[in-house]
A and B are shown apart, each in its own frame.
Chain A
């Protein structure tokens, strides 16, 4: 009896000590999950999710305060990866990726106020004060910030048309299963 109590107590004490030492010396600074989630996000700091940038969004995801479908530009692919990393299941069958759109400046309406260029998080808008601005389509991530801030409504969002070269096959209709 005493033997059993003693040995169990000894095991408990030893393991407790090991855990105590480990928590002291093997402690991890910050939340590693947050960094891993941040890696999965596009990193364009567009703010479409409602957070200031991808960093705060990752922090919110790590604390389960935001849905994995929060990233609009990332679409289904990013949502799938986030769900996998967080170990949550998410039904994306109804999820449709928004068509990718880029900003386009109407040259007749642009007054060269530079507001859009200052707002753009990826420097996709070039132009000087009182000069016409233009959007580098390859650098635009479609966050619509410039679209919303333009005082003359010179900016429109244009969806990028699918061409013969980036078109790909749709998924075949599911096989009959029984």
Chain B
């Protein structure tokens, strides 16, 4: 009698989960907001979106091929698609094509593959790309446009849109509009208190419905929020980071708004403006760059929320989501090290639990 050695330790059953399924679920959750904003900002936004996602996939394939790694399985896992998608959603909708292409190189090549590929990167690739673009091309990256829905009177036509995205571009002065956060910040620097400037921007309802200037995919809170809830329901993400992030941001902003309403915007304004919702549900929750334990995720969410408010209120940039997430990404290994679950049968310090001396029945 002879036998062969088993090649595999169990389990011999597996949950119906995979990386590509996870990534595609994230994409599905993003689709409603993406479609809405594609309509809201018209053809140029659609072109830029296509260029960005396409470039991300191309750069991913190129990086893998250069390293001599199999291209197809990695492309199929959908991680580059999600990175490209999220990057596109954080770009100004009428930005020229090379912004998307360059962003793809920053995100996939520099922020991901130079660190060792999927799962090895310390910083969120989409946010690295956004910040790198913002720092390198501040004018283009802050040139937001007022909504001009497809087929509406003021919207550019197909050919004109091609010219905007791929051609010489457009005159920034003629169409640019400030985002709500940017407007409040500029006004504040001119000495206009928040209580006055807030009246000149779209009200909270418009902010939520998305009918406002902003990045390509961040404006429609009413579509991003259900997308996030869908991810929660599918257990792709847990509540810890989004709730802690938005909760901290709201609490801190509200507190300071109470103290000095002329200087600080309200908590609700912070929640619906900028990329708060998109960031809380889709960006800060990136698996690779956020802590793995639940307590760690709470700390991380708290840090993100606090930093967003600090950057928005005190720093030179009107929006702080990308910076906050990147800063907390850097903290993730430290958080992971200090906030680990307690081992069964051991104290927090790792010593075995003391044996009870005497038990009474």
| A–B direct touch in complex (beta carbons closer than 8 A) | yes
Say which residue of B9, B67, B73 sits within 8 Å of A176 (CB atoms): B73
Check A178–B9 contact: CB distance below 8 A: no
- Asked if B116 is at the interface of the complex by the 8 Å CB criterion, the answer is yes
- Asked if A96 is at the interface of the complex by the 8 Å CB criterion, the answer is no
- Interface of A: prevailing SS: loop
- Asked if B356 is at the interface of the complex by the 8 Å CB criterion, the answer is no
Q: Which residues from 315 to 350 on chain B have a C-beta closer than 8 Å to any C-beta of chain A?
A: none
- Asked if A25 is at the interface of the complex by the 8 Å CB criterion, the answer is no
- Mark A residues whose CB is within 8 Å of B: 169, 172, 176-178
By a CB distance below 8 angstroms, the chain A residues around B8 are: 172
Give the complex CA separation of A169 and B9 in angstroms.
Answer: 8
By a CB distance below 8 angstroms, the chain B residues around A172 are: 8-9
- Asked if B122 is at the interface of the complex by the 8 Å CB criterion, the answer is no
- Mark B residues whose CB is within 8 Å of A: 8-9, 64, 67, 69-70, 73-74, 116-118
A-B contacts besides A172-B8, A176-B70, A178-B118, 13 pairs, CB < 8 Å: A169-B9, A172-B9, A176-B73, A177-B69, A177-B116, A177-B117, A178-B64, A178-B67, A178-B69, A178-B70, A178-B73, A178-B74, A178-B117
Tell me the minimal C-beta distance from B14 to chain A in angstroms: 15
| CB nearest neighbor in A for B67 | A178
Tell me the minimal C-beta distance from B218 to chain A in angstroms: 30
Tell me the minimal C-beta distance from B141 to chain A in angstroms: 30
- Interface of B: prevailing SS: loop
| CB nearest neighbor in B for A177 | B117
User: 7 tightest CB-CB pairs across the interface, nearest first?
Assistant: A178-B117, A178-B74, A178-B69, A169-B9, A178-B64, A178-B118, A177-B117
By a CB distance below 8 angstroms, the chain A residues around B116 are: 177
By a CB distance below 8 angstroms, the chain A residues around B67 are: 178
Give the complex CA separation of A172 and B64 in angstroms.
Answer: 24
| CB nearest neighbor in B for A173 | B7
Tell me the minimal C-beta distance from A2 to chain B in angstroms: 46
By a CB distance below 8 angstroms, the chain B residues around A169 are: 9
Give the complex CA separation of A52 and B229 in angstroms.
Answer: 71
- Can you list 16 A-B contacts (CB < 8 A)? A169-B9, A172-B8, A172-B9, A176-B70, A176-B73, A177-B69, A177-B116, A177-B117, A178-B64, A178-B67, A178-B69, A178-B70, A178-B73, A178-B74, A178-B117, A178-B118
